[in-house]
Amino acid sequence: MPFIPHTEADLAAMLDLLQVPDLNALFDEIPPELGENVALDLPPALNEMEISRLMGERADADGRWLNFIGAGAYEHHIPAAVWQIATRGEFYSAYTPYQAEASQGTLQLIYEYQSMMASLTGMEVSNASLYDGASALAEAVLMAVRASKGAARVLIPAAVAPAYRAVVRTIVAPQGIELVELPYDPASGTTPLPEYADECAALVVPQPNFFGMLEDVDALTDWAHARGARVIALVNPLTLGVLKPPGQWGTSGADIAAGDGQPLGAPLSAGGPYYGLLTCRQALVRQMPGRLVGRTLDADGSTGYTLTLQAREQHIRRAKATSNICTNQGLVVAASTIYMSLLGPGGLRRAALASWQNTRMLVERLAGLPGVARAFAGAGFHECVLRLDRPVAPVLEALARQGILGGFDLGRDYPQLGHALLVCATETKTTADIGRYEQALAGILSEGKS
């Protein structure tokens, strides 16, 4: 409904005071040829994402960088309303809902975020977020080990992001937890069923994995549960618009889901701030770190929101705290909640499908060039590994000189892959963007052979 504060009676009183017959008479100085019924020679209408892109291109005299890097942080379209709402004073200046009775709006938003995230991952409980995806995975490992009565040992695939593995190792190793790294299949880039017989507390299953490949999550989940181990799903939340949620993996579903919420409304912004998502089964709720917001009824029967199960060192004896995580990323969570509310399930699905289609187009175009080939066979999502016939770093430098961020060089983290390049295309990329990348890369590769 448009915001028009004046009633018909207000307008009539105003026109009577001015002694004019109607509103059009107030604009009689405008020449008729410029009137409202004049046909304008305008181009076809653009949607919000296209308008934002056009304005950015015109505002930047040097042009815009074309970004084809993923590797854990993704350039997605964020509707303008998301941060317009999130930066209102009610959200932007609020820090932490320590006093529940004075923070009902913040608590309600977090409760709605928790409900959305639990639904998205197919789990029963969500916390109010953690610092980032890597620390959320580390906390999931600690949860699984605390809940296990067996060995303090966790299986983690090499196809999990290197930075995530490093953070997890840093956090859990001092607590006597052993991380066993599982190799990936060099043909498919996915994790085969482990040939591992010792007792373990949990198995981490990335979906999609760092290479953008889709793991056989059903088989991995059932393998772990058959051996008494819990399953920790590491997910990109946007992909859940089309992929099976962790709660439905295998016969009985994953036990914990972790990941980074950046794809849901957080800009790249030089690396942050982002937030870590963490959801789990009800049976593990008392092992979950961070804040949880619950809904209840007050003495008058009205709905109220409050912090619950506050297993944090600021609220209980430090020795009994589940974590030293002191806060949630409230502002980014607010933006994510608004983003998910605006897009809804259909919007998330469309964004995910567009990203998948664009990456498929990008890979087909680039893999058709001499000296470029796909590294892995099989189904992937919005990232893919390409193998070049020369070192990747100089190629990326040459692309950057043409305003193209061409991808992520895997050589440092996965030297066994050779000259491997991880590329990504989200819904923000157009056919023209992909064609520009293809043309630029073709020129660079041909120059190297001349």
CA dist 157 and 154 (Å) reads 10
3-state secondary structure 295-311: EEECCCCCEEEEEECCC
- Integer Cα distance of 410 and 159 in angstroms: 12
pLDDT above 70: residue 169: yes
8 Å CB contact between 308 and 292: yes
247, amino acid identity: G
Q: Which CATH architecture has domain 48-78+344-449?
A: Alpha-Beta Complex (3.90)
Average pLDDT over residues 92-107: 73
Q: Is the pLDDT higher at 270 or at 381?
A: 381
- Predicted pLDDT at 319: 63
Residue 72 neighbours by CB under 8 Å, 6+ apart: 133, 161, 163, 164, 210, 260
pTM: 0.85
Distance CA 271, CA 259 (A): 15
Q: What percent of the chain has pLDDT over 70?
A: 91
Q: Which two tokens stand for residue 441?
A: 């890369």
Segment 304-319 mean pLDDT: 68
Mean pLDDT across the stretch 196-223? 96
Q: Which of the four pLDDT bands, split at 50, 70 and 90, describes residue 449?
A: low
Q: Residue ranges per domain, the chain?
A: 48-78+344-449, 80-339
Residue 93 pLDDT: 75
Does the pLDDT of residue 373 top 50, yes or no? yes
Q: pLDDT tier at 1 (50, 70, 90 boundaries)?
A: very low
- Spell out a b/e string for 218-228, using b for 16 or more CB atoms within 10 Å of the CB, else e: eebbbbbbebe
- Read off the pLDDT of residues 426-443 as tens digits, 9 standing for 90 and up: 999 999 999 999 999 999
Q: Are the CB atoms for 137 and 258 separated by under 8 Å?
A: yes
| Cβ-contact 212, 358 below 8 angstroms | no
Instruction: List b or e across 20-50, with b for residues whose CB sees 16 or more CB atoms inside 10 angstroms.
Output: eeeeeeeeeeeeeeeeeeeeeeeeeeeeeee
* Distance of alpha carbon 215 from alpha carbon 201, whole angstroms: 20
Q: What is the structure's pLDDT at 135? A: 94
Burial class (CB in 10 A: 0-12, 13-18, 19+), 146: middle
The average confidence (pLDDT) of the chain is: 90
Give the span between the Cα atoms of 148 and 137, in whole angstroms.
17
CATH of 80-339, picked from 3.40.640.10, 3.40.50.1240, 3.30.930.10, 2.130.10.10, is 3.40.640.10
Question: Which positions ≥6 away from 221 have C-beta within 8 Å?
Answer: 205, 231, 249, 250, 251, 252, 253, 254
pLDDT above 80 (res 388): yes
User: Tens of pLDDT along 7-34?
Assistant: 889 999 999 999 999 988 888 888 877 7
Q: Which residues pair with 312 in a beta bridge?
A: 323
Q: How far apart are CA 72 and CA 414, in angstroms?
A: 16
